[in-house]
Amino acid sequence: MTSFFPDRPPYRPFLSGPPKFKVGLKKIEAAEWLRPDPELQAGRAHGAAMLDQRFSEVFREIHGSAAAQAEARAMVESALNETAPEAGEPDLARARRMVSDDLVVMTAEDGEWRTAALALCQPTFFSAGHAIGKTLDGLHVPVPDGSPRLAGAIAHVFNSLAADAVFERFNWTVQFGEDRYTPDGGPLRAQAEALGPEAAADQLHLRVERQTIRRLPETGGVLFTIRIALDPLEPILRNPETGAALAAGWRGAADNARRYKRWDALEAAMEHLLKRENL
């Protein structure tokens, strides 16, 4: 299979500068929605393993979400031209076994969008239990200027999303280690600080979320997908095309972004690595 992204890392949002807290959506072709990429097998296998071993931790649903889940499963099946496995599970969990992406169904009730079901096998510092049933405002309270500004902007996008439109956006951060299942970043940060800057620097990774949204036209919901790409930082920093940009993105992040991402715990290790690479 020919990869759309022959080089690592496959996604490079840091080329656009430091992390930003805005919607930042880009319209893409439907054929690009769940296209194969270098993370497909790793993300798919990881999701299946998590559903097998820790189902109650990674899958949650609220009453009344079954129809939207079934529509989401059918949409994934159509995009991949495959049939979801008969796993004796809710439809969204079955769909998660087909893709490398975590899947979240959002539905609107009394004018508010909330999380109705999610298969969250590779969360970036939040959990399925935390997110289920929350409104957009509730989900974005911790984000700098997230509620009501960012949550309101996202609600506007959801309300006006055309049935045939697919949108994509990216988030990025720096993570200690290569764990995909990270509902809590505290243990990783503690490990990094315990090791000390020099040893921790060798285990720093770029963690990128590729997010997409699509309307569920029959039920009126929205399917939100999250694909994770994890890559060691050292090769990225050694590459002249990416090293300077990532260093600038790290150092140029606003104070509120650094606090939100808890980068202070990785500061010494990251600076050690940057200096080692003459950045």
Token pair of 230 as six digits: 């994890």
Task: Decide if pLDDT at 32 tops 70.
Answer: yes
> pLDDT digits over 120-129, tens only?
999 999 999 9
Q: What average pLDDT does this structure show over 249-267?
A: 95
CB 158 within 8 A of CB 235: no
> pLDDT digits over 71-111, tens only?
999 999 999 999 998 889 999 999 999 999 999 999 998 88
Task: Decide if pLDDT at 206 tops 60.
Answer: yes
> pLDDT digits over 117-154, tens only?
999 999 999 999 999 999 999 898 888 777 788 888 99
Token pair of 14 as six digits: 């840091």
Question: Would you state the pLDDT for residue 87?
Answer: 81
Task: Decide if pLDDT at 1 tops 70.
Answer: no
Question: Would you state the pLDDT for residue 21?
Answer: 86
Question: Would you state the pLDDT for residue 3?
Answer: 36
How many CB atoms sit inside 10 A of residue 210's CB?
Answer: 21
Residue with tokens 């999701």: 47
Would you give the end-to-end CA distance of the chain in angstroms?
36
> pLDDT digits over 179-197, tens only?
999 999 999 999 999 999 9
DSSP state string for 99-166: SSEEEEEEEEETTEEEEEEEE-SS-BS--HHHHTT-BHHHHHTTSTTIIIIIHHHHHHHHHH--TT-E
Q: What average pLDDT does this structure show over 253-273?
A: 95
CB 77 within 8 A of CB 84: yes
Q: What average pLDDT does this structure show over 40-58?
A: 90
Judging by beta carbons within 10 Å of its beta carbon (0-12, 13-18, 19+), is residue 269 exposed, middle or buried? buried
- 48 contact partners, CB below 8 Å, separation of at least 6: 97
Q: What average pLDDT does this structure show over 59-73?
A: 98
Q: Write phi, then psi, for 6 (nearest 5 degrees).
A: -70, -15
Question: Would you state the pLDDT for residue 109?
Answer: 87
Question: Would you state the pLDDT for residue 111?
Answer: 85
- Kindly list the domain boundaries of the chain, sorted by start residue: 13-195+205-232
d(CA 124, CA 136): 17
